[in-house]
């Protein structure tokens, strides 16, 4: 070791007995036995070492030092009489001849115990993140992140991808979320935007003659936080391939990701290539979700016709979806909790019944099904002990609610979910267009730069709502890791695609001038994808919250409570960038 220490706090072993050493770290705790005997635990990034203080003078010198002060200890290594097999340095201890305070902690009380920081309120953890990160359990997630990112880089490089960084200050681009805008000092009234993704730059790189590009790209979107989404900024493994199609992208990702998940993950098994391909329509109708968790073996059954005429109002004239669960002996309390959680998550109610040990339909909506008992049991192939969850509404609502119910039932029902593996799949054949819920007008369903299946012929002759795109999502254990697409590299097809949503050629040229012009100089077919690094690490680490694997995360309100961001700035700074603050009217 360097830095004025001979060893770190996880390095000393029985072979070092008799050596004079210097170790440094944080004063973790002291167990005082008497006025001239105490056991001090010194902790650094690597581990802990026990220091045995055996003189009254040295005990007195430590009396005024608070926990979490940084110390330098010089002394002799000796064998411990009461060895600790739970730590690497458990066979030895250091008898100090000098202890120097390097950095004093001036507070007698800490906001939380370092080793129990995860039990503290999240707001307190984020405010004192520098203390939270001293907890080895928290620190190890950041170390894991670093190793995964390094492995991703090495793997992409081994696949002949070239790492290229793209600009952070750029122009506003329609990526589906709000931009973060940066006012220009030299160009009054004009703004840069932080990139929501390097989408246009990486496509222009393909047009520039680069064959395979990647970067661990920072992306910025002004959107609300979720458990699996950090507000403000995130990182993605951004990649693009020239002269390539959908299967080329799939082959690279199927080779890069499973070994990393299996090597570093809490589960050591990951899907092998090729991943299962599921069309968007089949995913919705089979699993009720375009990001299905394939570890769950439950599927949806359309029972709309079967459930008509039961006299149960919510089913009348509606799509009804059923989920059949074998051997589900849950209590009424558990069933009610699943129903309540389904309603909270989806915004719609769910219903249920089950088959008792006598083959009777009981519980939930059972009284409405008695006249059709035999028909229902036969149609769903029900046996004693089976449970049936139901959802209803217009088709899209019934499917999405059933998707939520399926996930909750899969987690609660014994034997219906493999919990020790990573199951990947590709969702393919997304619709190119949809009717916007707010606008009521035709809109792009996902990425406007995707190539429509069928090209110009489809755009000119087919119903826009039936046109599919060469677009795909990568899903793992019910979490969407990324969207990707074969890009629309033909200017004529691009103009036609945008014309269907009311944007003419001049609009396309104005909104995407660089990319449109670049494509007019001979663009190669190209395709790409950008799996989210934060989400991948969250899954690999087995964490429920994405904030656990980000070194300095924002809170749910997109605030950095440690640094005090966002913050007010002085008038001169605003004047420099030609900005005036207009207070909202009360």
pLDDT computed for residue 390 by the predictor: 98
460 close to 493: Cβ distance less than 8 angstroms = no
At 242, give phi and psi (nearest 5°): -90, 155
401 close to 351: Cβ distance less than 8 angstroms = no
- Residue in this structure with the two tokens 């990647």, named with its chain if needed: 214
At 551, give phi and psi (nearest 5°): -55, -50
* Structure tokens belonging to residue 577: 């960038």
477 close to 544: Cβ distance less than 8 angstroms = no
Rounded-to-integer distance, Cα 337 and Cα 325, Å: 16
Rounded-to-integer distance, Cα 545 and Cα 479, Å: 12
**pLDDT by residue, tens only, the chain of 586 residues:** 456 899 999 999 999 999 999 999 999 999 999 999 999 999 999 999 999 999 999 999 999 899 999 999 999 999 999 999 999 999 999 999 999 999 999 999 999 999 999 999 999 999 999 999 999 999 999 999 999 999 999 999 999 999 999 999 998 876 567 899 999 999 999 999 999 999 999 999 999 999 999 999 999 998 887 767 788 899 999 999 999 999 999 999 999 999 999 999 999 899 999 999 999 999 999 999 999 999 999 999 999 999 999 999 999 999 999 999 999 988 999 999 999 999 999 999 999 999 999 999 999 999 999 999 999 999 999 999 999 999 999 999 999 999 999 999 999 999 999 989 999 999 999 999 999 888 889 999 888 889 999 999 999 999 999 999 999 999 999 999 999 999 999 999 999 999 999 999 998 998 889 999 999 999 999 999 999 999 999 999 999 999 999 999 999 888 999 999 999 999 999 989 999 988 887 7
- Alpha-helical (H) ranges within 330-385 are 332-346, 373-379
* Structure tokens belonging to residue 376: 């229902």
3-state SS, residue 142: helix
At 34, give phi and psi (nearest 5°): -155, -175
3-state SS, residue 555: coil
388 close to 327: Cβ distance less than 8 angstroms = no
pLDDT computed for residue 226 by the predictor: 74
The DSSP code sequence of 255-296 is HHHHHHHHHHSSS--BPPSSPEEEEHHHHHHHHSSSS--TTB
Rounded-to-integer distance, Cα 204 and Cα 486, Å: 14
Handedness of CA 112, 118, 119, 123 (dihedral sign): positive
Handedness of CA 236, 241, 244, 250 (dihedral sign): negative
Rounded-to-integer distance, Cα 293 and Cα 58, Å: 59
- Beta carbons within 8 Å of 569's beta carbon, 6+ residues apart: none
Domains plus CATH for the chain? 14-103 (2.40.50.140), 122-273+530-586 (3.30.930.10), 296-412 (3.30.1360.30)
* Structure tokens belonging to residue 159: 């696949």
Rounded-to-integer distance, Cα 522 and Cα 1, Å: 56
Rounded-to-integer distance, Cα 504 and Cα 488, Å: 16
Render pLDDT for 334-350 as a digit per residue (tens, 0 to 9).
999 999 999 999 999 99
Render pLDDT for 372-423 as a digit per residue (tens, 0 to 9).
999 999 999 999 999 999 999 999 999 999 999 999 999 999 999 998 999 9
Rounded-to-integer distance, Cα 175 and Cα 169, Å: 16
- Beta carbons within 8 Å of 362's beta carbon, 6+ residues apart: 353, 354, 355, 356
* Model confidence, pTM: 0.91
3-state SS, residue 436: coil
Rounded-to-integer distance, Cα 442 and Cα 438, Å: 11
Helical (H) or strand (E) element with 443: strand 442-444
Preceding omega of 566 cis (within 30 degrees of 0): yes
> In whole numbers, what is the pLDDT of the chain averaged over residues?
94
Phi-psi region of 258 (alpha: psi -120 to 50; beta: other; left: phi over 0): alpha
Helical (H) or strand (E) element with 314: none
352 close to 390: Cβ distance less than 8 angstroms = yes
User: Which of 60-67's residues contact partners 24+ apart within 8 Å by CB, and which partners?
Assistant: 61/99, 62/30, 62/38, 62/99, 65/27, 65/101, 65/104, 66/27, 66/104, 66/105, 66/106, 66/107, 66/108, 67/27, 67/28, 67/29, 67/105, 67/110
3-state SS, residue 479: strand
The DSSP code sequence of 479-506 is EEEEEEEEB---HHHHHHHHHTTT--HH
pLDDT computed for residue 78 by the predictor: 97
- Beta carbons within 8 Å of 416's beta carbon, 6+ residues apart: 296, 297, 298, 325, 326, 409, 410
Nearest to 5 by CA among 63, 45, 37: 45
- Residue in this structure with the two tokens 């934060």, named with its chain if needed: 534
Helices (H) and strands (E) in the chain, counts: 16, 22
Rounded-to-integer distance, Cα 487 and Cα 524, Å: 10
Preceding omega of 217 cis (within 30 degrees of 0): no
pLDDT computed for residue 2 by the predictor: 53
Nearest to 472 by CA among 392, 410, 417, 529: 529
Rounded-to-integer distance, Cα 366 and Cα 466, Å: 39
- Alpha-helical (H) ranges within 110-231 are 122-127, 129-132, 136-158, 199-207
449 close to 462: Cβ distance less than 8 angstroms = no
């Amino acid at each position: 070791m360097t830095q004025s220490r001979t060893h770190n706090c996880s390095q000393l072993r029985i072979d070092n007995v008799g050596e004079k050493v210097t170790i440094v770290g944080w004063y973790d705790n002291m167990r005082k036995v008497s006025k001239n005997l105490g056991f001090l635990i010194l902790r650094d990034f690597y581990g802990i070492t026990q220091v045995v203080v055996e003189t009254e003078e040295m005990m007195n010198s430590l009396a005024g030092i608070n926990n979490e002060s940084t110390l330098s200890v010089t002394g002799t290594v000796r064998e411990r009489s009461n060895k600790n097999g739970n730590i690497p340095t458990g066979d030895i201890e250091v008898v100090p001849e000098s202890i120097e305070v390097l950095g004093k902690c001036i507070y007698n009380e800490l906001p939380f115990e370092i080793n129990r920081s995860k039990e503290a309120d999240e707001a307190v953890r984020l405010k004192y993140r520098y203390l939270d990160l001293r907890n080895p359990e928290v620190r190890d997630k950041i170390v894991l992140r670093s190793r995964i990112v390094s492995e991703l880089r090495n793997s992409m490089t081994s696949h002949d991808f070239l790492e290229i960084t793209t600009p952070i200050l750029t122009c506003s681009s329609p990526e589906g979320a709000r931009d973060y805008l940066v006012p220009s000092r030299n160009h009054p009234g004009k703004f840069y935007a932080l990139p929501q993704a390097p989408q246009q730059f990486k496509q222009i790189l393909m047009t520039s003659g680069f064959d395979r590009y990647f970067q661990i790209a920072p992306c910025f979107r002004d959107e609300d936080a979720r458990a699996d989404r950090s507000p403000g900024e995130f990182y993605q493994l951004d990649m693009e391939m020239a002269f390539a199609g959908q299967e080329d992208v799939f082959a690279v990702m199927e080779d890069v990701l499973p070994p990393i998940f299996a090597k570093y993950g809490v589960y050591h098994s990951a899907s092998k290539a090729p991943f299962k391909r599921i069309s968007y329509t089949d995913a919705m109708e089979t699993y009720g979700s375009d990001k299905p968790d394939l570890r769950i073996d439950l599927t949806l059954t359309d029972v709309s016709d079967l459930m008509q005429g039961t006299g149960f109002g919510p089913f009348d004239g509606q799509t009804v979806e059923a989920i059949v669960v074998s051997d589900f002996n849950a209590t009424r309390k558990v069933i009610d909790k699943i129903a309540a959680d389904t309603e909270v998550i989806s915004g719609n109610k769910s219903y249920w019944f089950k088959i008792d040990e006598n083959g009777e339909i009981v519980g939930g909506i059972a009284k409405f099904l008695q006249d059709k008992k035999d028909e229902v049991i036969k149609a769903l192939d029900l046996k004693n002990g089976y449970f049936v969850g139901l959802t209803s509404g217009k088709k899209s609502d019934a499917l999405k609610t059933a998707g939520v119910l399926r996930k909750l039932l899969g987690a609660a029902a014994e034997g219906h979910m493999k919990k020790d593996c990573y199951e990947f799949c590709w969702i393919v054949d997304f619709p190119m267009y949809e009717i916007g819920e707010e606008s009521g007008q035709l809109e792009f369903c996902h990425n406007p730069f995707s190539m429509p299946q069928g090209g110009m012929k489809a755009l000119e002759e087919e119903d826009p709502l039936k046109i599919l795109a060469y677009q795909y999502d990568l899903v793992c254990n019910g979490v969407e890791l990324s969207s990707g697409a074969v890009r629309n590299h033909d200017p004529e097809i691009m103009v036609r695609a945008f014309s269907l949503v009311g944007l003419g050629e001049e609009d396309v040229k104005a909104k995407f001038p660089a990319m449109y012009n670049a494509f007019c100089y001979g663009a190669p077919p190209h395709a790409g994808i950008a799996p989210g690094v934060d989400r991948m690490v969250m899954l690999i680490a087995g964490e429920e919250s994405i904030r656990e694997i980000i070194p300095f995360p924002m809170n749910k309100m997109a605030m950095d409570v440690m640094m005090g961001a966002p913050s007010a700035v002085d008038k001169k700074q605003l004047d420099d960038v030609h900005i005036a603050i207009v207070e909202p009217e009360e």
